[in-house]
């Protein structure tokens, strides 16, 4: 009894900075993986990967380790980007299980009022299975063409894109196809993806308050736009690992799970690439007979059937291959078929590591000789970003920054050596939670990191002072474009 009690205590401590989980927890050794391997993985991630935001490792249905790099935390949802696609496909699988759809239903047949007057043979041949497997026949991703449509609906824009190849014969990653799955589901059920999945998936899994962005016609994006917590990603992966079963209840048919996770189309031939192992129904095949859903900048739901494990990750990554390579190289070899002897000293080290995970703050001084004379309002000339002025107050603790732009005022508090939380419009006109830190990295140079911790994004703001002139630079940690603004100049208001 004493040994069991000690193991329970250690397993609870290994939760690190996480909140109470709905999963059972365990020491890694009890589930056949060494604490040292997990510690090595976390250390390697911090040394070799630009930034993970969270991870949760499941083995045999138990949480064996999880952690969040502050200001990211267990209670905040995270933008999933294309990991949303795997949830969209699940909705289609549920609708098929309910007899509402068939894999061989043609796409154009659902939208008689939005289909071209004379649809091409290839468009008429496109089926739901082709949308799921990214085999629509398009030469390029259609996302830009549908999202930039002004005079027509997104559905009409998609159906108007030429289909160069016979559907089913040509793979191209196509988020527009995932949107169309959402549009078809809403057409058939009269409900958005979010509404349809809530009683069928989210509520049974205990996923609370998911949100999903919608297009101008009120259709959930499908290919992106879902926000849930890290633990919710793990629950979703565990459902697939358990072949559609959850707490002795069948949520998904086993046939659907098998089809969705199997190779449905070829997407390359490089045996060493996790991007060329084939594609299922909105899931990627990986090496080692693993499969995953993933999203831009490092959002992963990795399912390992042979190891009976799930790895959920959120991040802000430039190199999306690196975390998978580290997982294959460090975690996979450490997974044994039997339990291991408990290792309390290393478990303690792992516990301490997980409890203190944090993104690096700006390294520098709390104050500078320039601080007092740099306090004030700096006025910008007209610029492409609509910034009118920045008001800096270095005598406050924490330092405060007020940005006035075309959308209004944003008030940011910057901690020194700590992440100071506030709320501002960041990626939309609605307030979002952010955290900021700053320091004088040179006597004339104050640098700020601004983290929108429900997204992958961290901005770096650089304020270089030269008398009454301010040089202002901004860049993002990750971006679909350059991620860097052109330098702006401002003058101190007299």
Element (H, E) at 134: none
How many other CB atoms are found less than 10 A from the CB of residue 329?
12
Give this prediction's pTM. Answer: 0.94
Element (H, E) at 262: none
Give the HSE-up count for residue 367: Cα atoms under 13 Å, Cβ half-sphere.
11
pLDDT value at position 156?
Answer: 98
How many other CB atoms are found less than 10 A from the CB of residue 459?
18
pLDDT value at position 389?
Answer: 97
> Which residue intervals of the chain bear CATH 3.40.710.10?
80-228
The Cα 285–Cα 300 span in angstroms is 13
CA-based torsion, 18, 24, 30, 34: positive or negative: negative
Smallest Cα–Cα separation from 452: which of 124, 94, 79? 79
The Cα 169–Cα 167 span in angstroms is 6
Smallest Cα–Cα separation from 111: which of 93, 133, 96, 126? 126
Tokens coding 384: 């492409």
Question: In this predicted model, what pLDDT tens digit does every residue of 120-132 receive, in sequence order?
Answer: 999 999 999 999 9
Q: Which CATH architecture has domain 371-492?
A: Beta Barrel (2.40)
> Which residue intervals of the chain bear CATH 2.40.128.20?
371-492
pLDDT value at position 10?
Answer: 45
CATH class of the region 1-76+229-359: alpha beta
Question: In this predicted model, what pLDDT tens digit does every residue of 379-425 receive, in sequence order?
Answer: 999 999 999 999 999 999 999 999 999 989 999 999 999 999 999 99
Q: Which residues of the chain have pLDDT under 50?
A: 1-14, 16-20
pLDDT value at position 427?
Answer: 79
pLDDT value at position 21?
Answer: 62
What topology is assigned to 80-228 in CATH?
Beta-lactamase (3.40.710)
Q: Do residues 285 and 276 touch, judged by C-beta distance below 8 A?
A: no
- In degrees rounded to 5, what are phi and psi of residue 474? -140, 135
Spatial neighbors of 148 by CB under 8 A, at least 6 apart, are none
Element (H, E) at 4: helix 2-13
- In degrees rounded to 5, what are phi and psi of residue 390? -130, 125
Q: End-to-end CA distance of the chain, in Å?
A: 74
DSSP reduced 3-state for 145:
helix
């Amino acid at each position: 009894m004493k040994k069991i009690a000690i193991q329970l205590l250690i397993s609870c401590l290994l939760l690190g900075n996480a909140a109470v989980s709905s999963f059972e927890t365990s020491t890694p050794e009890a589930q056949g993986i060494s604490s040292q391997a997990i510690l090595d993985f976390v250390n390697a991630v911090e040394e070799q990967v630009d930034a993970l935001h969270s991870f949760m490792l499941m083995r045999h249905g138990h949480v064996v380790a999880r952690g969040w790099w502050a200001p990211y935390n267990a209670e905040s949802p995270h933008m999933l980007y294309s990991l949303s696609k795997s949830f969209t496909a699940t909705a289609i699988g549920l609708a098929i299980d309910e007899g509402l759809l068939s894999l061989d239903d043609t796409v154009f047949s659902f939208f008689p009022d939005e289909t071209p007057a004379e649809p091409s043979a290839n468009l008429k041949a496109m089926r739901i299975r082709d949308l799921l497997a990214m085999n629509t026949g398009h030469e390029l991703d259609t996302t830009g063409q549908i999202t930039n449509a002004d005079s027509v609906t997104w559905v009409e824009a998609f159906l108007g894109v030429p289909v160069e190849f016979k559907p089913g014969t040509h793979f191209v990653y196509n988020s527009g196809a995932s949107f169309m799955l959402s549009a078809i589901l809403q057409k058939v059920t009269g409900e958005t993806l979010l509404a349809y999945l809530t009683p069928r998936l989210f509520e049974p899994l205990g996923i609370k308050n998911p949100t999903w962005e919608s297009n101008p016609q009120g259709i959930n994006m499908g290919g992106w736009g879902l926000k849930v917590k890290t633990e919710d990603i793990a629950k979703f992966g565990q459902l697939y690992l358990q072949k559609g079963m959850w707490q002795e209840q069948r949520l998904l048919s086993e046939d659907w799970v098998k089809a969705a996770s199997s190779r449905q189309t070829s997407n390359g031939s490089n045996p060493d690439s996790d991007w060329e192992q084939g594609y299922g129904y909105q899931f990627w095949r990986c090496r080692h007979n693993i499969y995953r859903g993933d999203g831009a900048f490092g959002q992963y739901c990795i399912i390992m059937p042979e190891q009976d494990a799930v790895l959920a990750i959120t991040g802000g990554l430039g190199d999306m291959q690196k975390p998978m390579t580290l997982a294959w190289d460090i975690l996979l070899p450490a997974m044994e078929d039997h339990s291991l002897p408990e290792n309390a000293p290393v478990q303690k080290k792992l516990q301490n590591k997980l409890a203190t995970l944090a993104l690096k703050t700006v390294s520098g001084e709390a104050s500078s000789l320039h601080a007092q004379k740099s306090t004030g309002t700096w006025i910008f000339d007209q610029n492409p970003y609509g910034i009118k002025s920045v008001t800096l107050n270095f005598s406050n603790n924490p330092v405060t920054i007020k940005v006035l732009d075309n959308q209004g005022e944003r008030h940011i508090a910057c901690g020194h050596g700590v992440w100071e939380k506030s709320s501002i419009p960041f990626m939309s006109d609605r307030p979002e939670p952010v955290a900021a830190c700053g320091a004088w990295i040179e006597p004339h140079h104050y640098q700020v990191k601004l983290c929108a911790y429900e997204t992958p994004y961290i901005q770096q703001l650089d304020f270089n002072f030269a008398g009454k002139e301010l040089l202002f630079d901004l860049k993002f940690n990750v971006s679909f474009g350059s991620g860097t603004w052109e330098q702006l100049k401002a003058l101190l208001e007299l």
